[in-house]
Amino acid sequence: MATRNRQWRLKRHPDPGEMMNRDLVAWGEGHIEEVPRGGILVRTHCLATSPAQFGYMKPGPGLFEKIHIGDVIRARGIGQVMESRTPDFSVGDIVTGSLGWQDYTCLHPESAGQSIKTVQKEPHAISPLHVTLGTLGVDGYTAYCELINVAKPKKGDTLLVTAAAGGIGSLVGQVGRILGCCVIGIAGTDEKCAWICDDLGFDAAINYKTEDIDVRLAQLAPQGIDVFFDNVGGEIMNTALAHIALHARVIICGWISTDYKEGPIPGPSNYTHLLLKRASMIGTIVWDHIEDWPDASRHLRQWVKDGVLIPTEDITEGLENAPDALASLFTGGNRGNKIIRVAPDPEGLGIL
């Protein structure tokens, strides 16, 4: 049994305007906790990244619990049960949930430590585990549930997706394409624009760093955008609002372009188009749709099996590189769903 537990802990809160960087976290080794009765010990295999993790490092109010100085950085992950003192889990089970930037997580039955309720068994886990965690996990559920349940796209609709070459965006665009939408993506490099069109089947792409989004949207969507799935907020969102179609649905999934801005974020001046086009704009969180996750899981799995949904995981090797992996989301250094591989997949898993 291993005794080393490598960990990243929060060293200090970010200063105002400071970007995610290694100086915020401290690398070290902790002990592996003794598993209490009713608890389990999980070996981490892969960790997901999300811009929200950086938000947890900032002090002040937030939707989810903050990470305090000295805490292990919280992260959703996939791992294998190494020790179990509860009949609910067996050694060898694959689980997903809140594991953190560490090799081993001890999950407790009650609030004395990290709760076992934050993880769930993954009886259909397949190798590679990073696909089970990402495309077939919460990122896939976000794309599927927020697009299908909330935006309700119809065949022939024009769908606009921002951060289109990112984790959520690359899946939203593909789901839209599978449903028969005409999909336009906005991304930050020509290489990403080519990737989403050539490999993922988007109909068109706009490089927001080199092209005039206003001009390009007028060319690409002369009848307007029926569904606008926004991951970035700010100026890009405001520009796109001026191009919505009658009865458009605008999904606020995230606002990464304003994550580092201090003070109040200016409202979108083009909000008037919501009235002119009798459109709706709605914020939604993947956790609002938990009851639909099994349905999402079934469809995503089938689509991947049929080869129509391409998993988009972008792997960073090694727990030691976790801070750089998270930082890459804010610099556009990722292409697809950024996952940190902490340990090779265990043997004996099913394959798709």
In the complex, the residues that contact ligand NAP under the rule CB under 6 A are: 50-52, 142, 163, 165-169, 187-189, 192, 231-232, 236, 253-257, 284-286, 329-330, 332, 334, 338
The nearer residue to ligand NAP, 106 or 217, going by C-beta atoms, is: 217
The nearer residue to ligand NAP, 38 or 332, going by C-beta atoms, is: 332
The nearer residue to ligand NAP, 128 or 166, going by C-beta atoms, is: 166
In the bound complex, what is the minimum distance in angstroms from residue 233's beta carbon to ligand NAP? 8
The nearer residue to ligand NAP, 82 or 138, going by C-beta atoms, is: 138
In the bound complex, what is the minimum distance in angstroms from residue 269's beta carbon to ligand NAP? 18
In the bound complex, what is the minimum distance in angstroms from residue 312's beta carbon to ligand NAP? 9
CB 123 within 8 A of CB 80: no
CA distance readout (Å), 125 to 92, 120, 133, 155, 307 = 12, 11, 9, 31, 18
In the bound complex, what is the minimum distance in angstroms from residue 69's beta carbon to ligand NAP? 23
In the bound complex, what is the minimum distance in angstroms from residue 229's beta carbon to ligand NAP? 9
* Nearest of 141, 1, 79, 105 to residue 349 by alpha carbon: 79
Please state the three-class secondary structure of the chain as a single string: CCCCEEEEEECCCCCCCCCCCHHHEEEEEECCCCCCCCCEEEEEEEEECCHHHHHHHCCCCCCCCCCCCCCECCCEEEEEEEEECCCCCCCCCEEEEECCCECEEEEECCCCCCEHHHEEECCCCEECHHHHHCCCCHHHHHHHHHHHHHHCCCCCCEEEECCCCEHHHHHHHHHHHHCCCEEEEEECCHHHHHHHHHCCCCCEEEECCCCCHHHHHHHHCCCCEEEEEECCCHHHHHHHHCCEEEEEEEEECCCHHHCCCCCCCCCCHHHHHHHHCCCEEEECCHHHHHHHHHHHHHHHHHHHHHCCCCCCEEEEECHHHHHHHHHHHHHCCCCEEEEEECCCCCCCCEEC
The nearer residue to ligand NAP, 143 or 221, going by C-beta atoms, is: 143
Q: Given the DSSP bridges, would you call strands 280-283 and 244-252 parallel, antiparallel or unpaired?
A: parallel
In the bound complex, what is the minimum distance in angstroms from residue 89's beta carbon to ligand NAP? 26
The nearer residue to ligand NAP, 114 or 142, going by C-beta atoms, is: 142
The nearer residue to ligand NAP, 100 or 173, going by C-beta atoms, is: 173
In the bound complex, what is the minimum distance in angstroms from residue 181's beta carbon to ligand NAP? 19
In the bound complex, what is the minimum distance in angstroms from residue 307's beta carbon to ligand NAP? 22
Instruction: Report the C-alpha gap between 339 and 56 in whole angstroms.
Output: 18
In the bound complex, what is the minimum distance in angstroms from residue 90's beta carbon to ligand NAP? 30
The nearer residue to ligand NAP, 39 or 153, going by C-beta atoms, is: 153
The nearer residue to ligand NAP, 5 or 334, going by C-beta atoms, is: 334
Peptide bond preceding 222: is omega within 30 degrees of 0, i.e. cis?
Answer: no
